[in-house]
């Protein structure tokens, strides 16, 4: 090869490939142990995946050796095969590179030595030895560079880089992974993108960047906060979008190829020199990115450093007034709104307005948001589980906190993922004893993990079984069929997903949930009502129509609309809504446009559903806060359905 990777990176933008692990599983490459074992038991499959990425336009092929170090392989009984697996992985990619007929490079993929889920990192000396051992095999196999990827701690990434440099003088790309914690982009150790760049700027890495965990839009903020570095090039490799577990327990990623390609261009505009994809991306994503790069003349390096685009700053919620002491119960319309709503007769039932309590902060911040929502007219407070990984108040703890301090009903979403039947039973009995009476049961999804987009979890109980368990407790019977003496008195709800691909199946599941004990249903976020109407028509046809709450949120800008449209599974944002938000942009007035659209939607939904859950991002937007949103959407329901709104 006439040109080295470092020379090429200095001359033009290079396009990396996409995911190997998720693509291998989607292609039928399933192993009981470690995914990298495919390099020795199914080499033809691994080679075929490399060939597909090369044909799609990738300049850089990553070996299928992520997490193939001794500490990671020994958990699967493969510790003695470290060299064999990594050598095979490097040679498979190198063979494809050598037949390319054009410049291409092979990157040896190296992960943190610490397996996911370990609270304490692997001992530094052992981790360094493991990195050296793996890299030696990759170099022997013919890689052109080493990629350290998906590191969630800057210190561990720096140590790994130094270990690589002890073995080889090949170029090294060092990538950290970040999570979005309510607007703060942080590693698991709490480090910002700027912190990571500062730790690695003078270490000799040819590129510093980020990969995994976040989708295309979220990763752009990381890249902007990283650059310009003044030294190493920037790299960016996002996931396809948010993952979730679908009906057959498989994992599906949101995020189409063209959306991915648009953001690849934006990474380049922000200064990135190496771009590609991570979990959930496919050769189709790579091909779309290659087309976008060539047609937009992005291959020539910028003549001057790109100006860093400042990250949007959230407007903090107003500090609660001094007379709103956290330990004092807040005034409100009183308890019983859910009970009265459910007992109302069809056609004359009041329109229920619930307000989601979400966002960053501790119990006092959440309490302030709850009080403002009640002041705006909410008769129920809604607590859902966040997918954030940062340590925070549990949803159950927050629900109890709000129940004790605000004089309204508090509804809690209970998820069953990674929880046993008996643990769920204990949680339900504890919630009942503490006064929480309204529950929405769902399976849920684990939070996005740096290395495993969706963990397998302990799926002993799904949302349907959770409903049946709670319904049994209401009848005074526990999970073993034994009478418990005093029955619980939960009002039970379940989720429906109008944005699902298969609405007939979704309607069937909704019927099953009602038959399992759901007294009401709550939609996932909706931005149009026709798909919700289809699901409800299926319920009515089966004779299982129950009251429904439509989840409605005011979009805060075009970026959020684009993110929901392309990166979040099972959320449908119509073309007209996206176009309107695109005109509104992302400035201070955009949220007002989003609220106006939400009010129109509530007016439509008021003729179909029996209430709404007002969703709000947590932090206030200039000129708007939860109280304003609740007031506006409550008024929209009143205007559409007469005086249906009741406290």
> Which phi and psi (to 5°) does residue 27 adopt?
-90, 5
The H or E element containing residue 360 is none
Extract the annotated binding site. 212, 278-279
Tokens of 300: 């020539």
* Angle made by CA atoms 112, 567, 556, in degrees to the nearest 5: 115
Residue 137: closest CA among 92, 185, 198: 92
420: left (phi over 0), alpha (psi -120 to 50) or beta: beta
Using CA atoms, how far apart are residues 490 and 504, in angstroms rounded to an integer? 29
Q: How far apart are CA 87 and CA 92, in angstroms?
A: 9
Inter-residue contact 560 to 616 (CB < 8 Å): no
Which two three-digit tokens encode residue 102?
């054009």
Instruction: Compute the distance between CA of residue 82 and CA of residue 87 in angstroms, rounded to an integer.
Output: 8
Contact 89, 138 (CB under 8 A): yes
DSSP bridge pairs for 351: 645
Rounded CA gap, 389 and 449, in Å?
A: 8
- In angstroms, the CA 187 to CA 450 distance is 9
CB atoms within 10 A of CB 162: 14
Contact between residue 628 and residue 599 where contact means Cβ atoms under 8 Å apart: no
Strand-pairing partners, residue 522, are: 495, 549
Strands 520-523 and 251-253: what pairing?
A: unpaired
Query: For residues 305-339, b (16+ Cβ closer than 10 Å) or e, as one string?
Result: ebeeeeeeebeebeebeeeeeeeeebebbebebbe
CA distances from 221 to 150, 308, 569, 611 (A): 17, 10, 21, 36
Residue count of the chain: 647
- Other Cβ atoms less than 10 A from the Cβ of 179: the count is 21
Angle at alpha carbon of residue 590, lines to 585 and 593, rounded to 5°? 120
Longest dimension (CA), the chain: 80
Residues marked as binding for Zn(2+)? 212, 278-279
Question: What values do phi and psi take at 549, rounded to 5?
Answer: -110, 130
CB 552 within 8 A of CB 633: yes
CA distance 315 to 430: 36
Count of other CB atoms within 10 angstroms of residue 67: 24
Helix axes 124-141, 82-98, angle to 10 degrees: 40
According to DSSP, residue 357 is labeled: -
Q: What is the DSSP letter of 314?
A: P
How many C-beta atoms surround the C-beta of residue 89 within 10 A? 31
Tell the residue number behind the tokens 């889920």, with chain if given: 117
Burial class from Cβ neighbours inside 10 Å (0-12, 13-18, 19+) for residue 40 reads: middle
Give 343's contacts (C-beta < 8 A, 6+ positions apart). none
Cβ proximity of 209 and 223 under 8 Å:
yes
């Amino acid at each position: 090869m006439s040109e080295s990777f470092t020379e090429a990176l200095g001359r033009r933008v290079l396009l990396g490939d996409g995911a190997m692990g998720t693509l291998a599983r989607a292609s039928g490459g399933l192993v009981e142990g470690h995914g990298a074992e495919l390099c020795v038991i199914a080499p033809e499959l691994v080679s075929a995946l490399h060939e597909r990425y090369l044909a799609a336009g990738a300049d850089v092929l990553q070996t299928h050796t992520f997490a193939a170090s001794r500490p990671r392989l020994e958990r699967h009984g493969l510790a003695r095969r470290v060299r064999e697996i990594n050598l095979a992985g490097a040679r498979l990619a190198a063979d494809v590179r050598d037949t390319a007929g054009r410049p291409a490079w092979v990157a040896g993929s190296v992960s943190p030595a610490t397996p996911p889920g370990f609270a304490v990192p692997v001992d530094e000396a052992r981790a360094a030895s493991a990195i050296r051992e793996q890299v030696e095999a990759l170099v022997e196999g013919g890689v052109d560079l080493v990629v350290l990827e998906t590191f969630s701690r800057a210190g561990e990434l720096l140590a790994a880089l130094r270990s690589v440099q002890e073995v080889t003088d090949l170029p090294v790309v060092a990538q950290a992974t970040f999570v979005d914690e309510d607007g703060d982009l942080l590693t698991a150790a709490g480090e910002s993108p700027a912190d990571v760049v500062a730790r690695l700027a003078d270490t000799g890495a040819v590129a510093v960047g980020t990969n995994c965990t976040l989708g295309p839009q979220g990763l752009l903020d990381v890249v902007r906060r990283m650059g310009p570095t003044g030294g190493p090039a920037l790299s960016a490799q996002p996931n396809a979008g948010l993952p979730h577990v679908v009906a057959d327990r498989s994992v599906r990623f949101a995020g189409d190829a063209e959306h991915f390609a648009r953001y690849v261009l934006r990474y380049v505009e922000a200064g990135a020199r190496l771009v590609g994809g991570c979990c959930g991306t496919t050769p189709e994503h790579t091909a779309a990115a290659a087309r976008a790069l060539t047609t937009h003349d992005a291959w020539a390096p910028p003549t001057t450093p790109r100006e860093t685009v400042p990250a949007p700053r959230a407007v903090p919620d107003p500090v609660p007034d001094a007379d709103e002491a956290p330990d004092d119960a807040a005034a409100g319309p009183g308890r019983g709104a859910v009970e009265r709503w459910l007992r109302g007769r069809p056609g004359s039932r009041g329109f229920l307005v619930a307000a989601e309590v979400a966002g960053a902060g501790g119990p006092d911040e959440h309490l302030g948001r709850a009080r403002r929502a009640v002041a705006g007219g909410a008769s129920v407070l809604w607590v859902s589980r966040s997918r954030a990984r940062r340590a925070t108040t549990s949803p159950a703890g927050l629900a109890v906190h709000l129940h004790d301090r605000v004089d309204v009903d508090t509804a809690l979403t209970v998820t069953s993922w990674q929880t046993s039947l008996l643990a769920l039973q204990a949680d339900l009995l504890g919630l009942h004893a503490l006064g929480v009476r309204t529950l929405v049961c769902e399976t849920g999804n684990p939070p996005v993990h740096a290395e495993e987009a969706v963990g397998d979890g302990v799926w002993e109980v799904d949302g349907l079984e959770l409903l049946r368990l709670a319904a049994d407790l209401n009848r005074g019977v526990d999970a073993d069929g034994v009478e418990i003496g005093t029955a619980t008195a939960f009002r039970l709800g379940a989720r429906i997903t109008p944005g699902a691909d298969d609405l007939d199946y979704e309607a069937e599941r909704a019927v099953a949930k009602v038959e399992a004990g759901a007294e009401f249903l709550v939609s996932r976020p909706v931005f149009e009502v026709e798909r919700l109407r289809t699901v409800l028509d299926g319920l009515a046809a089966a004779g299982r129509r129950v009251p429904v709450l439509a989840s409605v949120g005011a979009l805060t800008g075009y970026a959020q609309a684009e993110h929901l449209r392309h990166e979040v599974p099972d959320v449908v944002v119509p073309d007209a809504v996206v176009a309107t938000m695109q005109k509104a942009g992302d400035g201070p007035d955009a949220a007002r446009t989003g609220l106006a659209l939400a009010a129109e939607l509530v007016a439509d939904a008021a003729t179909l559903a029996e209430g709404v859950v007002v969703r709000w991002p947590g932090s206030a937007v200039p000129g708007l806060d939860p109280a304003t949103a609740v007031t506006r959407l409550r008024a929209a329901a009143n205007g559409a359905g007469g005086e249906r709104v009741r406290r």
